[in-house]
Amino acid sequence: MGTALVHSLAVTEKRGLFKSWTLLLAIFTFSLSLLGTFLVRSGVLTSVHSFAADPERGLFILVLLAITVGGSLLLYAIKAYDVKSESNFELLSRETLILINNVVLVIICSMVLIGTLYPLIVDVLGAGKMSVGPPYFNLLFVPFSLLLAFFMGIGILLRWKKSSPRKLLKQLLPSFVLAVVVGVGAAYLFNQDLAFKATLALVLAFWVVFSLILDAFSKVSNKADKLVGLSKLSPSYWAMQIAHLGVVVTMVGVALVATYSEERDIRMVPGDIVTLAEYSFEFQGAEKISGPNYSADMGTIEVLKNNQFFATMHPEKRFYPARGSMMTEADINAGLFADVFVALGEPLADGAWAVRLQYKPFMRWVWFGGVLMMFAGMLTVFDRRYKIRKSALPVTA
């Protein structure tokens, strides 16, 4: 919802349009965070994340919600009528694509909200208890995100108010073909199986990247020295590029991890070797060690990648006598292109152990995309336009 707001604000700032949309999104974004407070503290939902379930507290928060959200929406309903914008833009314009962006983002948000509240609705209506969980959310999130990526690739290249369809097609068609070729190629290089969703995600990721590159070059098309021209582009422009790049980086990370990760829970005796993707894990037994406030069994697992030494990993099973609790300390080897995870379960007979092995490709990309988006946000702060606004304040105040 916040993302939709940011985009909508951009339109309002640059074109004076979408004022009431922007307003509504701002109200929704804040209302949802208040709603979150209510949901975890009132006890209407069970979750590993929810705190004390206290209906009394819940009622208090609900009243608070009614006043703030209800009040602001009431104000909106009455007053927003007077806020009108000149809405003259073509179907093929940046405004339309941002509207589409808003629609998709708001729907993704609504989908999560509906899914979360559905069991409650069914229960209140007396139709029994049901559950909505990760399988639902994961299943529905995918088509909408892919749709978002698709429109992102187009939206980046569109001009405000109106874009020429012919010029756009000239840019998009080769970009599309190239994206398919490179995307499928990259997917195949990574894993011969060429799973549909993962390949599609890669194709769309390259689609967006090529659009970003095309747009950057079109901005310096009339400059003699392209590189100098690029460096002169405003920080907020680069922030936009990096932020969108961040989105597709995360998308690629999620797609590859969800499709190609492998995992085994297995009984291993010293000397056993298990293979996951291109990694082989040899269990070399466990020894007793002790730390400052615990005693532990530390396992040694030698990992080979493509039959060459990769790492020696040491998962632990710790016992803390102060509380009498057992903790499992996994060992994770976090690399740029894959995470390898090893954990010990229970000791079994004959020196065997229950071991959990996981291979998660491109796991860090999920985080890295987020870091890029964050970095882009911080970059925007340095844009000149905000400094100008500061000096304008004495005038408007």
| Min CB(75)–other proteins separation in Å | 8
Residue 273 engages other proteins in binding (rule: CB under 8 A): no
* Nearer to other proteins (CB atom), residue 59 or residue 336: 59
Residue 110 engages other proteins in binding (rule: CB under 8 A): yes
Stretch that binds other proteins, among 163-171, 187-195, 246-254, 259-267 (CB under 8 A): 259-267
Residue 288 engages other proteins in binding (rule: CB under 8 A): no
Tokens 């659009």 -> residue: 211
Stretch that binds other proteins, among 194-202, 246-254, 264-272, 374-382 (CB under 8 A): 264-272
Residue 124 engages other proteins in binding (rule: CB under 8 A): yes
Helix axes 71-79, 19-42, angle to 10 degrees: 160
Site for other proteins in 348-367 (CB under 8 A): 348, 354-356
Tokens 């199986």 -> residue: 193
DSSP string, 198-239: HHHHHHHHHHHHHHHHHHHHHHTTT-SSHHHHHHTS-HHHHH
Stretch that binds other proteins, among 49-57, 198-206, 365-373, 374-382 (CB under 8 A): 49-57
Cα separation of 131 and 129, whole Å?
A: 7
* Nearer to other proteins (CB atom), residue 39 or residue 373: 39
For 18: left if phi > 0, alpha if psi spans -120 to 50, otherwise beta; the answer is left
The strand pair at 273-276 and 353-361 is best described as unpaired
* Nearer to other proteins (CB atom), residue 31 or residue 185: 31
Site for other proteins in 51-70 (CB under 8 A): 53, 55, 58-59, 62, 65-66, 69-70
| Min CB(268)–other proteins separation in Å | 9
Cα separation of 365 and 257, whole Å?
A: 9
* Nearer to other proteins (CB atom), residue 265 or residue 371: 265
| Number of C-beta neighbours around residue 240 at 10 A | 19
Residue 226 engages other proteins in binding (rule: CB under 8 A): no
Tokens 């990096």 -> residue: 242
Residue 315 engages other proteins in binding (rule: CB under 8 A): yes
Residue 271 engages other proteins in binding (rule: CB under 8 A): no
Q: What is the CA radius of gyration of the chain?
A: 26
| Min CB(365)–other proteins separation in Å | 19
Judge whether 344 and 316 are in contact, CB under 8 Å. Answer: yes
Residue 130 engages other proteins in binding (rule: CB under 8 A): yes
DSSP annotation of 362 reads T
| Min CB(380)–other proteins separation in Å | 12
52, 127, 224, 227: residue in contact with other proteins (rule CB under 8 A): 127
6, 32, 34, 73: residue in contact with other proteins (rule CB under 8 A): 73
* Nearer to other proteins (CB atom), residue 122 or residue 182: 122
CA dihedral 69, 71, 76, 78 (to 10 degrees): 150
Q: Where are the beta strands (DSSP E) in 216-362?
A: 262-268, 273-276, 279-290, 295-305, 308-313, 316-320, 325-329, 331-334, 338-347, 353-361
The residue count for binding other proteins (CB under 8 A) is 117
